[in-house]
Amino acid sequence: MHSDLIITPKALKQRALKIWQRGDIHRSWLQKNTCFPLQISLKSISSKSLLSEYTELQDAIYTLRLDSQKYAYLIIDKAITHRQLGEQKIPAVISFKTESIFLNYLAKSAEFSQFQALTEKSLQQDGLLLDWLIRYPFKVMQYAEVWPQLLKVCAYFEAHPKPDCYIRQLDIKGVDTKFIEQHKNILSELLTQILAESSYQADISGLKNNGFERRYGLRYDQPLIRLRILDASLAIQRLTDITLTLSEFKQLNIAAKTVFIVENKVTMLAFPDHPQAIVIFGLGYAVNLLADAQCLQDRTVYYWGDLDPDGLAILARLRQYYPQLKSLLMDAKTLEKFSHLVVDTPAKSTEKTLQHLTQAENSLYQKLLQESLRLEQERISFTYLQAYLDENIS
């Protein structure tokens, strides 16, 4: 007999399991509706098949009826009048009359009871979670073992929004602070649902660069920004090589007119003296952290990165925050001048075009991307740099 002539108990269980995995039962319960009786339609059988495979078909129907007696689901037959065989009753629909029959059939009764208990507790604590639970019912079960602790953390942040302390300092009964470190992803989803918009930074997403801490008003070990003052008259208490936390750096309002940002530490250390200027050791793709820095506002800002697709992608990203930003030695002329030092290296950046680049920069980006070219910043001589500064930057 063809396997698709009548459904086998094994195939029926697979179809029922797919319904379970869609979460329809969970959503209906959350919305105080019901899916039951739940019906699964079966394929109709042709008169030709009924005759040619009559014995095999009767055996398959008998097996299915035995299975239905075992698990208490109903088989709704369809009467077919056959010219030679007379009236035949063929299974047309499988019906699970109640939720308990369906859950017992799939051996999911205990799991669903746990789901009900966890979600009831969640909604008693905060009804705002309902929409999220309806969208992601299985995430509750994914985190079933730790769900009570997750709810405790949510309750704490509701009562103490933007706590302005380190995660290690949070005092939540029954929750150690390592737990929060380990569950930032799911906590961020839940907190987004329950907190007022004023209680978190909605524009910060993801966990990179302490994203969780920044989004929910926690302190964190901030990135350090290193800079050199290139004009001795601007020295701070005679200091010219300074390392600051990010927040301290953003508040620094030094009287420099020109700011250079470079991506190589030795380049930063050896950068030539320049009137009323400072040089900052860059952060690669994390340059967005330099946004809102006082010492970059209303200044002439130059970015000097590697002459490769990634370098130009970082330039484009930084220019989102500082439209006045100019590139330094990131041009076709410099690439040609040091062509003997160019290497073939695949780039992280794969964007075909980048916003915030000039036409010339975008053309260069295309060339570097297509030919996998890279000219590292440290390959460019300081004589060439000095000559460029003397000629182009006052």
Give CA 208 to chain center in angstroms: 10
| Predicted TM-score (pTM) of this structure | 0.73
Nearest to 325 by CA among 310, 314, 309, 336: 314
Q: Are residues 264 and 336 in the same domain?
A: yes
Report the alpha-carbon distance of residue 187 to residue 364 in Å, rounded: 43
| Among 31, 45, 128, 38, residue whose Cα is nearest residue 85 | 45
How confident is the model at residue 1, as a pLDDT? 40
The two three-digit tokens of residue 171, written as one number: 């005092």
- Residues 278, 299: one domain? yes
**Helix (H), strand (E) at residue 334:** helix 332-337
In three-state secondary structure terms, 305 is coil
* Sequential DSSP letters for 170-210: --BTTB-HHHHHHTHHHHHHHHHHHS-GGGS-TT--SSTTT
pLDDT at 84: 63
Q: Do 264 and 376 fall into the same domain?
A: yes
Domain assignment present for residue 1? The answer is no
Residues 61 and 194 in one domain: no
Maximal CA-CA distance, the chain: 109
Domain that holds residue 204: 110-215
Shared domain check, 114 and 102: no
Token digits of residue 372:
């996998």
Q: CB of 77 within 8 A of CB of 61? A: no
Per residue of the chain (394 residues), give pLDDT as tens.
444 568 899 999 999 999 999 999 999 999 999 999 999 999 887 666 666 677 788 888 999 999 999 999 999 998 876 656 667 788 999 999 999 999 999 999 999 999 999 999 999 999 999 999 999 999 999 999 999 999 999 999 999 999 999 999 999 999 998 999 999 999 999 999 999 999 999 999 999 889 999 999 999 999 899 999 999 999 999 999 999 999 999 999 999 999 999 999 999 999 999 999 999 998 887 888 898 999 999 999 999 999 999 999 999 999 999 999 999 999 999 999 999 999 998 877 777 788 999 999 999 999 999 999 999 999 999 999 999 999 998 7
> What is the total count of domains within the chain?
3
Q: For residue 353, what pLDDT is reported?
A: 82
| Pairing of β 86-96 and β 224-229 | unpaired
Phi-psi sector, 195: left (phi>0), alpha (psi -120 to 50), beta: beta
Q: Which of 215, 247, 275 is the last residue of a domain?
A: 215
Same domain for 255 and 359?
Answer: yes
3-state DSSP assignment of residue 302: strand
Determine the Cα–Cα distance for residues 94 and 75; give it in Å rounded to an integer: 5
- pLDDT of amino acid 14: 96
Are residues 340 and 263 part of one domain?
yes
What is the rounded CA–CA span in Å between residue 282 and residue 314? 10
Contact partners, residue 39, CB within 8 Å, separation at least 6: 76, 93, 94, 95, 96
Does residue 237 lie within any of the structural domains?
Answer: yes
- Boundary (domain end) residue, out of 63, 84, 107: 107
Helix (H), strand (E) at residue 96: strand 86-96
Half-sphere exposure of 61 (CA within 13 A, CB side): 19
* Type of residue numbered 266: V
State which of 47, 80, 107 marks the end of a domain.
107
